[in-house]
Structure 1
Amino acid sequence: MKRYGLVLATVVVFLLSLSIGAFAEEIKIGAGAAPTENVLKPIKEHFEKTTGIKLQIIASGPKIALQDLEKGAVDAAAAGLTFDDWMNLMKKEGAEVKDPASLQQFTIGKDKIIVLIHKDNPVSKLSKEQLKGIFTGKITNWKDVGGKDMPIIVVWGKLIPGTNKLFVKNILDGESQTKDVLEATTAEDVRQNVASNPEAIGIGPVAVVNATVKSPETPGVSRPIILVTKGKPSANVQKLIDFIKGEGQKYIRQ
């Protein structure tokens, strides 16, 4: 009986060692909505299976992601912004990067920003003028843009500043969005709030769309997705970059 127990214990230890050994190495990436939804989530399982490296995605938004990189809490940071726009965002947020030259940047994708509405909303097309009116608070009822007679609820994600900034610049012509919003966090949270409210409208990266919401025809807004490292990327981060630009291309939504 004792021998049986010893054998069983040995087997358990062996299996545990296998499960731990499967991901002996790990990389942490702080990221905004666009890289999280369009690039990192789609390739995560395939990258881990191919390399044996665990990919931990921390969807904290571009500001916190870059701050975490500066502190050494993550191995790389990623955002749907040009490098200059990212640095300007950090300065505006009071978190200016002291030495931007120490950061190396890599383009890992391209993102299209889309508008999300409830799947039962009959509206199929929105012009730039209509979107500007809705998101600045000048248009407050769906009947004014061809929809039902019901108030418009604008859902705004506080953890997707890169997405918001580009939308405000290109669609709102720099005007501030309405303050009367249903506040959300990540792009997924925006989608969930839109899916739960027939009156709602929000924005997010193209990869966030699923069967719970729909995206009407709107003017196109796109941006690069970049990943940055402090100095030269580690060997494992370089493997991630190479995977994204190689085999990972068939899993990425752009």
Structure 2
Amino acid sequence: MFANKLLSKKKLVASIVAVTLMLSATPAFASKLTGTLNISGSTTVQPLTEQLKAGFVKKNKGVKVNVTAPGSSAGIKEVQAGKVPMAGSSRELKPAEVKDGLVATKIANEALVVVVHKSNKIKGLTQAQVRDIYLGKITNWKELGGANAPIMAQGRDTASGTFAYFNEHFLGTEKPAPTVKEFAHNGLVRQAVTKNKNAIGYIGASYLNPSVKGLAIDGKAPTKKNFAAKNYPVIRPLFFVTKGAPTGLSKAFIDFSISAAGKKIAKKDFMP
């Protein structure tokens, strides 16, 4: 009888230890969260946000996540106004936005790719050539070794973080030529280039597909291998922006995004 009691105590202790170990091994972001999280912002960050959302809600079935993409600047303004708790951004915060209490948490990196129509013979450009095209100094493809045809430059609108980054990186303090046609979404730029054999545009690397040709920049081709090795001249950070330090569901989502599980998701189309 004493032996049976001793055996029962040992089983109880073993069970307690097993439960303790199981609980300690459970990730913090696997807790039973509930509620709705609205995320606005960048069209560039949107594909990554959707991928992260799938992983996050799988671990937190009580949470609903809504994702919209009016553009980086538009999303940041929504955070400032208290309309949404967080937004994706493909540009860094401006000094005035930081002063207003906004906080940007880096979640990944992405390349910016210059694209042309599939039939275009041009295989690559220098950064200086891209600059001159968007400043209106180079206006015909024959100046670059291509066909005798006008260059139709496509770009993003001013609500876009991609617009801000492209201008800062390629144009510096100068403004793009008034002939550059502006679009509200990466997908719309790609579509415009697909439809016009004389067009050139720029998009986030996650939007690059066989419908357009990605150009090498300074001899570096826009390939996943080059992106992963940071062997490409136009790579930018991506952020989630919150009003103050992230809290609640925003913090849980951002914590998941920068965790090992989140970085594994980002590796598919982005760079952690």
TM-score by length of 2: 0.73
Q: CA deviation at 1:97?
A: 4.3
Question: Per-residue deviation at 1:24?
Answer: 6.4
State whether structure 2 residue 263 is matched by structure 1 residue 249. yes
Report if the CA contact (8 A) 1:60-1:159 is conserved.
no
Residue 237 of structure 2 aligns with an amino acid whose one-letter code is P
Contact persistence 2:156–2:189 (CA under 8 A): yes
**One-letter identity of the residue aligned with 1:45:** A
How many angstroms apart in 2 are the aligned matches of 1:120 and 1:224? 31
User: What is the Cα deviation at residue 25 of structure 1?
Assistant: 2.9
Please report the RMSD computed on the Cα atoms of aligned residues, expressed in angstroms: 2.2
> How far 1:135 moved relative to its partner?
0.9
Q: Would you say the 8 A contact 2:158–2:164 is kept in 1? A: no
Equivalent of 2:242 in 194, 207, 229: 229
- The 3 A distance-change label for structure 1 pair 184 and 28 is same
Farther off after superposition, 129-138 or 233-242: 233-242
Report 1:143-222 matches (<5 A).
143-158=142-157, 161-219=160-218, 220-222=233-235
Give the partner amino acid of 1:234. T
Contact 1:32 / 1:159 at 8 angstroms: preserved in 2? no
Deviation at 1:128, TM superposition (A): 1.6
Matching residue of 2:54 = 45
Q: 1:35 to 1:194 in 2, by over 3 A?
A: same
C-alpha distance after superposition, 1:36-66 (max 9, x if no partner): 24x2133233333332233222212222212
Match of 1:65 in 2: 75
- Give the structure-1-normalised TM-score: 0.78
Cα distance in 2 for partners of 1:41, 1:212 equals 22
**2:115/2:213 contact within 8 Å kept:** yes
Counterpart in 1 of 2:44? 34
Deviation of 1:182 after TM superposition, in Å, equals: 2.4
TM-superposed deviation, 1:124 = 0.8
How far apart are 1:191 and its partner, in Å?
1.2
Between the aligned partners of 1:248 and 1:97, the Cα distance in structure 2 is: 27
Q: How far is 1:151 from its partner? A: 1.5
CA–CA distance in structure 2, aligned partners of residues 44 and 199 of structure 1: 38
Check the 8 A contact 1:29/1:76 in 2, yes or no.
yes
Tell me, in whole angstroms, the C-alpha distance in 1 between the residues paired with 2:153 and 2:84: 33
Task: Give the CA deviation at 1:197.
Answer: 1.3
Residues 155 and 183, structure 1, Cα contact 8 Å, conserved in 2: yes
Superposed CA deviations along residues 196-254 of structure 1, whole A, max 9, x for unmatched, are 21111111221111121121101412222121222342322222112211212222213
2:94 aligns with: 87
Check conservation: 2:156, 2:162, Cα contact below 8 A.
no
2:66 to 46, 53, 56: 56
Q: Does 1:118 align with 2:125?
A: no
Q: Over alpha carbons, which structure has the higher Rg?
A: 2
- Decide whether the 8 Å contact of 2:39 with 2:67 is kept in 1: yes
Q: Is the 8 A contact 1:167 1:221 kept in 2?
A: no
CA 1:174–1:103 in structure 2 vs 1: closer, same or farther (change >3 Å)?
closer
* Cα deviations by residue, 1:3-56 (Å, 9 ceiling, x for unpaired): xxxxxxxxxxxxxxxxxxxx963211121233224x213323333333223322
